[in-house]
Structure 1
Amino acid sequence: MLQIIGTKKCTQTRKALRYCKERSIPYQFVNLEERSLSDGEWAKVFNSLNAESLIDEESKYYKKGGYSWREYDPEEELMLHSELLKTPLLKLGQRVVQGVDTDFLEASREHA
């Protein structure tokens, strides 16, 4: 089943949720404000996507934490601080994509 990983505050996450609801695409919403991803889920994310590309450099947490000038391991920081993650992440099986990818969402309907 398709998983949409994000927060309810994120406009792009809400867009993905609305897209699925309007087209009756079954999904599971993982709210990062309520629970963090497991080590296995993070492994699938990092196998599909580069950790550096998942860092939201426009987020308040990034700016407040001084990430622009300090050295850090992107994977480790994302696992510890999901506030740095660009959302939504769309996960289906072993594949993970970042952002509202309508082709990916439509393809997930076939796997439902």
Structure 2
Amino acid sequence: MNIQIFGMSKSFDTKKAERWFKERRIKYQYIDLISKGVSPGEYRSIKAAVGGFDALVNKSCRAYEALYMAYITPQAAEEKLLEHPELFNAPIVRNGKQATVGYHPEVWQTWE
């Protein structure tokens, strides 16, 4: 199992996800979305695993409205998402080609 947690240090759900893996002594790699972001290749892989762009975007964050995300084309919205990682829902937990957005221990338990 090669677990990666893409999250934000201030996100409560990111902290819960980290705690869940620590309690089970499952090694994981933490990637800070704000400082490191997500590469275009990782983004495509995660987007395919979680069911698309809408699952990845936090529509309630301030940056979503400030960047007029609701009014731009889908391609431009994806570019903005990669430029402004604070728009991502967190945590994004990835195991190879599988991924979840948010806190979903019931899914993580099924991963081997």
Residue 87 of structure 1: aligned partner: 90
Residue 6 of structure 1: aligned partner: 7
**Structure 2 unaligned runs (5+)?**
none
Residue 24 of structure 1: aligned partner: 25
Distance apart, 1:18 and its partner CA: 1.1
Spell out structure 1 runs of 4+ moving beyond 4 A. none
**Equivalent of residue 60 in structure 1, options 44, 59, 62:** 62
Residues paired across the two proteins, number: 108
Residue 48 of structure 1: aligned partner: 49
Residue 38 of structure 2: aligned partner: 37
**For 1:54 and 1:81, how far apart are their aligned partners in 2?**
12
Q: CA RMSD in A?
A: 1.6
Distance apart, 1:46 and its partner CA: 1.6
Q: Which has the higher helix share?
A: 2
> Secondary structure at 2:69's aligned position in 1?
coil
Letter in 1 for 2:107: F
What is the TM-score with the length of structure 2 in the denominator? 0.85
Distance apart, 1:14 and its partner CA: 0.8
> Secondary structure at 1:97's aligned position in 2?
strand
**For 1:37 and 1:101, how far apart are their aligned partners in 2?**
21
Letter in 2 for 1:54: L
Percent of pairs identical after alignment? 28
